[in-house]
A and B are shown apart, each in its own frame.
Chain A
Amino acid sequence: MSNTMLDFVIVSIALLAIGIYGMSVKRNAIRMLFAVEMIVNAANLNLVAFARFLPNSQGQTFALFSIAIAAAEVGVGLALIIVAYRMYKNVDIAEFRSLKG
């Protein structure tokens, strides 16, 4: 193993920061979903990196659980986007206003 753990953690931090940028700037609902996926992947990379360097098998187990949960989350998220698109004919989250007081 020639890479240190720091390398993997730095890639994970960069991916997390890009995901946070996307969440805060973009108003397109589908692009916000992209940003969520990036943040989840950064977390998974951290889990597997720590599991490799301890070493311990449970980090990989939790990464597998996390991937499965993310799959469920994307399915429901895309269904919500499709419903909102059908109601408002738009994917801009600033246009989804029926709950706004």
Chain B
Amino acid sequence: MLHMADAVFLALAVMTIGSAIAALEVRSLIYGSIALMGTLGGIAGFFLLLDSPFVAMFQIAVYIGSIAVLILFTVMLVRRQLIFIKIEDPRRRYAGIGLMLVMMLALGAVILASGIKSIQTDEPPVDFREIGEDFLIYYWPALVLMALILASSVIGALTLARREDITNEQHNA
């Protein structure tokens, strides 16, 4: 008899890994970015299973709410033929699959040989109020720095994507 949480875990694992493969292999970039949303949502589900609802909600808000939508909009800006063609070297494809399998086997062997196989916990989960204390008491300089980094990255992205020819035309007219 499968335990309830185990069934949820298996479903989440299949959804996460399956849609990760689909995001890379589906022909259309639009369906690919929707599949990427599935991966990110699956990770949010894992966070819920790990009793971290705050991180799960943050993941849904930031990744599915903003990053996935931003990627969808960028894909729609690209020319139509480019969305539907696959650009890759067939020779590098086999090398890449080999690299993937080697990574999985090597890291899996290291993890299985280490002591974390037996780690189980019966302790209650961390309260999310402790995260707030962490942020505002111990890591407040990092929090301020994070706000500055986010603001400067938004300004940088806008500056990069700005079209100077349009402003010049308006100026001349």
Query: What residues make up the interface of A, taking CB atoms closer than 8 Å to B?
Result: 1-11, 13-22, 24-28, 30-31, 33-35, 37-38, 41, 44-45, 48-49, 51-53, 55-58, 60-61, 63-65, 67-76, 78-83, 85-86, 89-92, 94
Asked if B1 is an interface residue, CB under 8 A from chain A, the answer is no
**9 cross-chain pairs, A with B, having the tightest CB-CB distances, nearest first:** A25-B96, A72-B153, A79-B157, A57-B130, A21-B100, A79-B160, A17-B103, A52-B50, A61-B134
B126–A45 CB distance below 8 A: no
B39–A48 CB distance below 8 A: no
Partner of B121, one of A35, A55, A67, A85: A55
B125–A4 CB distance below 8 A: no
Label chain B's interface by main secondary structure. helix
Q: Of A1, A19, A94, which is in contact with the most chain B CB atoms at under 10 Å from its CB? A: A1
Complex interface: chain B residues within 8 A of A44 (CB): 43, 55, 59
Q: Which residue of A lies closest to B158 (CB)?
A: A79
